[in-house]
Amino acid sequence: MGYDQLKLSNQLCFPIYATSRLITREYQPYLDKLGITYPQYLVLMVLWESDTISVNEISKKLILNTNTITPLLKRMETLGIIHRQRSGDDERKVIVSLTSKGKLLEVDASTIPEKMAAGIISSTMKIEELVDLKNKLESIIHVLTEKDRIE
């Protein structure tokens, strides 16, 4: 009885889901020290890369809907990390930029990726394997986001 294709151990989605949750959990102590959540950290990484960017651009980079990003940005503005304002060129467009507090968080966050990698790298998992895994996951993301554009 049952279908092998429905066994949890045969699914691609579950190890990705579980890994995502476990990695996010590992980030938590570092982010708690900064007073931010993981989704806020993602937004900050986008802004540290290119400050002064539209909400739509942030949404695209993070592969999230604007209705998910907007409440997150409101909370970040309340924390004094970012500033939002309507574009002078297009009233429908909201531009997000870092405050000085948001810029200072980059210094404190700069050691997080190295600490995270150190926590994963072991005798069974090498840095090259992590880089290869990241590249493969990016390929899957590319395929799935292209599929969304076509549909």
What DSSP string runs through 5-55? GG-GGG-SHHHHHHHHHHHHHHHHHHHHHHT--HHHHHHHHHHHHSSSEEH
Mean pLDDT along residues 134-143: 96
Confidence of residue 134 (pLDDT cuts 50, 70, 90): very high
pTM as predicted: 0.90
Confidence of residue 91 (pLDDT cuts 50, 70, 90): confident
Kindly state the percentage of the chain with pLDDT values over 90.
82
Sheet holding 94-98, edge to edge: 53-54, 94-98, 82-86
Kindly indicate whether the domain formed by 4-106 is annotated with CATH number 2.120.10.10.
no
Sequence ranges of the domains in the chain: 4-106
Q: What is the pLDDT of residues 43-79, one digit of tens each?
A: 999 999 998 999 999 999 999 998 999 999 999 999 9
136 is written with which tokens? 């493969």
Helix (H, G, I), strand (E, B) or coil at 97: strand
Query: For position 41, what pLDDT does the model report?
Result: 98
Query: For position 1, what pLDDT does the model report?
Result: 61
Residues whose CB falls within 8 Å of the CB of residue 115, separated by 6 or more in sequence, listed in order: 30
- Characterize 93-121 residue by residue with b for buried, 16 or more Cβ atoms within 10 angstroms of its Cβ, and e for exposed: ebbbebeeebeebeeebeebeeeeeeeee
